[in-house]
Structure 1
Amino acid sequence: MKLIRKILFPLVPFYYLVTWLRNTCYDWGIKKSESYRFPVLCVGNLSVGGTGKTPMIEYLIKLLKDDFKVATLSRGYKRKTKGFQLADENSTAESVGDEPFQFYNKFGNDVMVAVDSDRKNGIKNLRNLEGKPEIILLDDAFQHRKVKAGFNILLTTYNNPYYSDFVLPTGNLREPKSGAKRAHVIVVTKCPIDLGDVEKNDILTKIKPKPYQHVFFSSIVYSNEVFSNDASKKLETLSNFTLVTGIANANPLVDYLKSKNLKFEHFNFKDHHEFSQQDILHLETQQLIITTEKDFMRLKPYESIKDKLFYLPITVVIDRETTFNELIKQAVKHS
């Protein structure tokens, strides 16, 4: 794949030009963006996949849900439905997508979970509902310029920051690096938990934030327990299990489990993998299956593996958390 990307390098200037022109048309008002008189917060990235949008959305839900009626609005990637869908007790990962289904399962009636590939239409439908949300969190909508969020949170990973990347097809950027100027907050995600001030300052120098931008650093913290629908196990009690992942980058999870001296076999699928009947038959032969929370949402309907299926939760830890939280609350207050 890396060789193919290098071969396609001559296409980079064309992709760059097309995405730059599109953004310029929105920046200059040639193409119109819809603005709103209530809080619309966007969590997104410049690169394709794997920057930690889902745990960031969950962090914001926890921060805001006790004081406001909160809704999440996602595209619902790889769902089997079309148009606007509002998650309810009959929803599945197939009907709303694995990540929105995870939001609904985790927070239930504390948050409204909706999907619509047309975010403008999704916002309209949410606001037309009885008991309409007071805040809408847009999941992965940084490039959805038809909607102008009141506050943009841009995520970039510690191991593959946008400032060191190229646009597609050779690199992973969906648009030129200059798109970062639309962000109000930039979060460098998946950092080592012990990242020091010297390295943080080096990263800040490379990001070159605008005067109106704030930069934070976040890390993933893994639980010491795995959970099924009705049970839990301590990590240190696990032995000879099968790790199943269908995420963009499983390396941090693999490294964490190895650091615990755990022995396991890893079935590594592509991001948002649709598990086939053959996959399930293979998993039925495994004694214990550990997976991510997102993959758990897709695997839990299969009764044949339900008793052996567990997921490992993660949480996000943000440096200068109080300052970050205050920025979010101020953004909500002034929207």
Structure 2
Amino acid sequence: MSSPSFQTILSGERQDVASRLLRLGLSALEPVYAGMMSLRNLGYDFSWLPTHAAPMPVISVGNITTGGTGKTPVVAWLTEALQTRGHQPALLSRGYKSLDETGNDEFRVLQLLCPGVPHLQCRDRVAGVQRLQQESAPSVVVLDDAFQHRRLKRDLDIVLIDATNPWGYGHVLPRGLLREPLRGLKRADAVLITRCDLVTSSNIASIQATLVRYTSSPVMRTRFLPLGLRSVDGTRRAIDDVTEIQTGSPHAFCGIGNPAAFASTLRQFLGRDVDVVPFPDHYHYQPSDFDRLQQANPHTSIWLTTLKDLVKLPDQAFGETPVLAIDIGIEFLDPPEPLLQLLPQTSCTTK
């Protein structure tokens, strides 16, 4: 659903007969899915569906669309902010497309970015928070990608909006990328607009005008900044120290929800365009993929990718050709205090 080729169909970029017919068929299914989500939300709004409270404050970081909005660096920033305030946070995620006990790509990245922070992957978030309480007794739990998971009550709902595609082509799944109708934004306690540096000020103003129609919660503009590079073993490196980038021919690949945003980050970081080979989101790489990339780009001096892709790669995936990931951090373009003021106090370890 989030592959780059399929998104060209959803966006209307492809105008061939087959694409038009597919959009027509998906449009017929859209009201069915939207209606189901609306009924489900009504069930929670009116307490027809049961919810469960955790023994500690719960913060959710989520989206209203599918695809990558930048949740992982936001979760890492939030975890550090909680630790700075004296909390002992734990992370809880669903474990989407995890192949084994080592966890999915987000899990492995957050292990790298949040060392020492307990992190559990569990499809049943209610059972997961109970297990975290038994195993590590955190003072607060951060839910990764849980805006639509309403069975577990939360004290703070943070919603991310990707400025490069804020409304998922204006349609609910499967015709677009919206997970639910926009009126669901009324549940958001804070909204972060990500990748604001990749669009015009008029685009941002339009997004803000739309948000005002659905939520009165604080809205903050943000962008992602390259912090440096990481090798497969997690070691940080400065770009100036990597001669393969400065004097060679770098190429890139990624398997994320928004490959165009990664290409923009590379352009910002390196000061030039780099060819990016896109794979499907959460892609599990095979040795044949590395062979194909090498054969198509035999003179590549270094391969660049995202942290989510790097943590899934074997050592020497490209033989003697090095591979490094761009390390990304979040920067607030508006004061973050409206969000920081919503964080639970250290003394509120139970409710």
Q: TM-score, normalised by structure 1?
A: 0.86
Q: Deviations over 1:33-81 (max 9, x none)?
A: 1123421000111111211111110110111124111111111111124
Q: 1:101 aligns with which of 92, 100, 108?
A: 108
Q: 1:12 aligns with which of 22, 30, 41?
A: 30
Q: Which residue of 1 aligns with 2:128?
A: 122
Percentage of identical aligned residues = 27
Q: 2:259 aligns with which of 241, 250, 262?
A: 250
Q: Deviations over 1:282-316 (max 9, x none)?
A: 45665411111111111145566486111111111
Q: Which residue of 2 aligns with 1:178?
A: 183
Change (3 A) 1:77 1:304: same
Tell me, in whole angstroms, the C-alpha distance in 1 between the residues paired with 2:126 and 2:133: 11
* Correspondences of 1:62-211 after superposition (within 5 Å): 62-66=80-84, 67-81=86-100, 95-109=102-116, 111-129=117-135, 131-162=136-167, 165-192=170-197, 196=201, 200-208=204-212
Tell me, in whole angstroms, the C-alpha distance in 2 between the residues paired with 1:142 and 1:56: 14
Q: TM-score, normalised by structure 2?
A: 0.82
Deviates more, 1:298-307 or 1:34-43: 298-307
Q: Which residue of 2 aligns with 1:38?
A: 56
Match of 2:132, SS state, is helix
Match of 1:244, SS state, is strand
Q: Which residue of 2 aligns with 1:61?
A: 79
Contact between 1:293 and 1:311, CA under 8 Å: does it hold in 2?
yes
Cα displacement (A) at 1:200:
4.7
Change (3 A) 1:199 1:250: closer
Tell me, in whole angstroms, the C-alpha distance in 1 between the residues paired with 2:346 and 2:215: 20
Deviates more, 1:262-271 or 1:22-31: 262-271
Aligned partner letter, 1:78: K
Cα displacement (A) at 1:5:
3.1
Cα displacement (A) at 1:186:
1.2
Q: 1:308 aligns with which of 301, 314, 322?
A: 322
Change (3 A) 1:325 1:99: same
Change (3 A) 1:164 1:5: closer
Cα displacement (A) at 1:116:
0.4
Cα displacement (A) at 1:325:
4.6
Deviates more, 1:263-272 or 1:47-56: 263-272
Change (3 A) 1:201 1:8: closer
Cα displacement (A) at 1:21:
0.7
Structure 1, unaligned runs of 5 or more? 82-93
Contact between 1:167 and 1:176, CA under 8 Å: does it hold in 2?
yes
Q: Which residue of 1 aligns with 2:332?
A: 318
Q: 1:227 aligns with which of 221, 227, 230?
A: 230
Cα displacement (A) at 1:212:
5.1
Q: Which residue of 1 aligns with 2:15?
A: none
Tell me, in whole angstroms, the C-alpha distance in 2 between the residues paired with 1:200 and 1:156: 11
Q: What count of residue pairs does the alignment treat as equivalent?
A: 319
Tell me, in whole angstroms, the C-alpha distance in 1 between the residues paired with 2:177 and 2:199: 27
Change (3 A) 1:98 1:301: farther
Contact between 1:241 and 1:263, CA under 8 Å: does it hold in 2?
no
Aligned partner letter, 2:252: L
Q: Which residue of 2 aligns with 1:84?
A: none
Match of 2:343, SS state, is helix
Tell me, in whole angstroms, the C-alpha distance in 2 between the residues paired with 1:163 and 1:276: 30
Structure 2, unaligned runs of 5 or more? 1-5, 10-18
Tell me, in whole angstroms, the C-alpha distance in 1 between the residues paired with 2:293 and 2:185: 42
Q: Which residue of 2 aligns with 1:269?
A: 279
Change (3 A) 1:332 1:213: farther
